[in-house]
Structure 1
Amino acid sequence: MKDMDNRFTTCQAISMARRYGWVIALGREDSSCVLGAVALGLEKKLPYFAEGNLCINLYTESLEAGRLSEESVPRLPPGKYVGILAAPLSRTAFEPHSIVIYGNGAQVMRLGQAWLWKRGGTLSTQFRGRVDCADIAIAPFIDGEPQMVVPCTGDRIFGQVQDHEIAFSFPYSMMDDILEGLEATHKAGASRYPVTNWLTYTGGFPQSYEDYRHMLDEAGPPGGE
């Protein structure tokens, strides 16, 4: 991204791949967000950071709460990787570690149902309202589990995620299971997208409408005496 003469957040890089169809490499020298850079292992986690100083008075009331928030963020080992490479699947000439799909609530619900098709149970996820790039890109990679992610403030400001959007990320190795689950649950018919509307029912109406219906029943059809 140095070729663009700007520095960017991780969520911006992901959004460029998503919206522009670009293949984007974001390294240490390209990153503008220290939170994302530390999560990716591109920058050191100094004591000032670990103590919660980047949380207090912004996301937490106290340093201790900020410290706990920082501890909860999935992180890659410092210095192990040189950056992140983001691309739309149609242009991915490499095997990605994580896949992210943005959608509305119903679409992401279907992805979660697909994941549970073979496994059952529940899909556990995490929320902190910040550093969602760690949940999107890193958590599936290191934990081997999918994530339903409510986009954070930064993703909305810099990545320009819209209010109706939720993210679903998962390890690339689970792609076949997700696709199989989508197909199977769609075929089963209980849950599809677009969601099927149930229309064969009698609706309820205000009491005055019902009272008039009774009057009409007593009066008989038009033209009758």
Structure 2
Amino acid sequence: MPTVKEYNAYGEDLERILQLRTSPIAVKMLEKEEDIPEGAVRPKKYRGYHLAQCQVFAMSRRSGEMIAMLKEDNWCWAPLMGYGLVEDPQDEFVNSHAYFPCFKVGKYIGIVTAPLKTTPYEPDMVLVYSNTAQLRNLIGAVKSHDKALVSSVFDPIDSCVYSVVPVIENNEYRVTIPDPGEYERAMAGEDEMIFSIPKDKLPGLMETLRETDRRGGSYRRQTYIMTPDFPRPPFYTDLFKKWGLDTEE
């Protein structure tokens, strides 16, 4: 497994190669209070206020803060249920809206997040907030390394749950749409998507992204072109010959 310093290097390289506007987030679920890293902010205990989990994601990726969220710190119902911090209230509203996956109640006491490039702990997974072009490069790296495609289901709400719970439980990549709360209260951009990376898959993904960057094919080297009869890789020419189509300008 990677060391903490290697995780930090992954965070730096993700930002550099993809030219991300905000830092990838190191996410770790907490099983007991002793697991809270030294220096982590406890919102209610240390600052006297509550936060929604999407706001904490924003504070970690934008301001570089390491924040531990336990049950008493939360100001939104979905992560309380999704992360298994409370019992099912058997509430009519919840029953009609909560279709999301949940951790087993009591398995965890909370969650801690920090920028991947500065995290002092080994994460369970990583969240990357990106635009669609950056997301395309991430998915392309998955396809290249794993010889597989990324599958997701989409819900317009509860992104704090969908981007975390199934990723850890199933060890799978996931694409999530930031929900209205992220947009209204947590500074998520209208052009942003969330890409979730399980820790076990991060080394292979980074190997592919770094190699693609060395070969000059990464996001930061891609530019807009509108040139007719543009230069093409040789396999294009081979295919067009087989189809009897033009291969020269």
Corresponding residue SS for 2:126: strand
1:28-107 matches, within 5 Å, as 28-48=71-91, 53-54=93-94, 63=96, 66=97, 70-71=98-99, 73-107=100-134
Counterparts in 2 of 1:41 and 1:103: CA distance versus 1, 3 Å: same
Q: Distance in 1 between matches of 2:82 and 2:198?
A: 18
CA contact (8 A) 1:27 1:84 kept: yes
Corresponding residue SS for 2:200: helix
- Count of equivalent residues: 187
Q: Distance in 1 between matches of 2:227 and 2:188?
A: 37
CA contact (8 A) 2:84 2:108 kept: yes
- Could you list the per-position Cα deviations for residues 78-133 of structure 1 after superposition, in whole angstroms to 9, with x for gaps in the alignment? 11111110000122111111100111100011011111112224210121111101
Counterparts in 2 of 1:187 and 1:196: CA distance versus 1, 3 Å: farther
Structure showing greater relative contact order (alpha-carbon pairs closer than 8 Å, 6 or more residues apart) = 2
Q: Which residue of 2 aligns with 1:4?
A: 47
Q: CA RMSD in A?
A: 2.1
Q: How many angstroms does 1:198 deviate by?
A: 3.4
Counterparts in 2 of 1:192 and 1:91: CA distance versus 1, 3 Å: closer
Q: Distance in 1 between matches of 2:130 and 2:182?
A: 14
- Could you list the per-position Cα deviations for residues 161-206 of structure 1 after superposition, in whole angstroms to 9, with x for gaps in the alignment? 0111111111122111111221344456666444233354379xxx
Counterparts in 2 of 1:202 and 1:80: CA distance versus 1, 3 Å: closer
Q: How many angstroms does 1:54 deviate by?
A: 3.5
The residue identity in structure 2 corresponding to 1:101 is V
Normalising by structure 1, what TM-score? 0.76
Counterparts in 2 of 1:181 and 1:39: CA distance versus 1, 3 Å: same
Q: Which residue of 1 aligns with 2:138?
A: 111
Q: Distance in 2 between matches of 1:165 and 1:194?
A: 20
Counterparts in 2 of 1:194 and 1:44: CA distance versus 1, 3 Å: farther
CA contact (8 A) 2:175 2:194 kept: yes
Counterparts in 2 of 1:119 and 1:32: CA distance versus 1, 3 Å: same
Normalising by structure 2, what TM-score? 0.69
Corresponding residue SS for 1:154: helix
Unaligned runs of 5+ in 2: 1-42, 231-249
1:1-225 matches, within 5 Å, as 1-2=43-44, 3-48=46-91, 53-54=93-94, 63=96, 66=97, 70-71=98-99, 73-186=100-213, 192-198=219-225, 200-201=227-228
The residue identity in structure 1 corresponding to 2:81 is V
Q: Distance in 1 between matches of 2:137 and 2:159?
A: 21
CA contact (8 A) 2:209 2:218 kept: no
Give percent identity, aligned residues only: 27
Q: How many angstroms does 1:140 deviate by?
A: 1.2
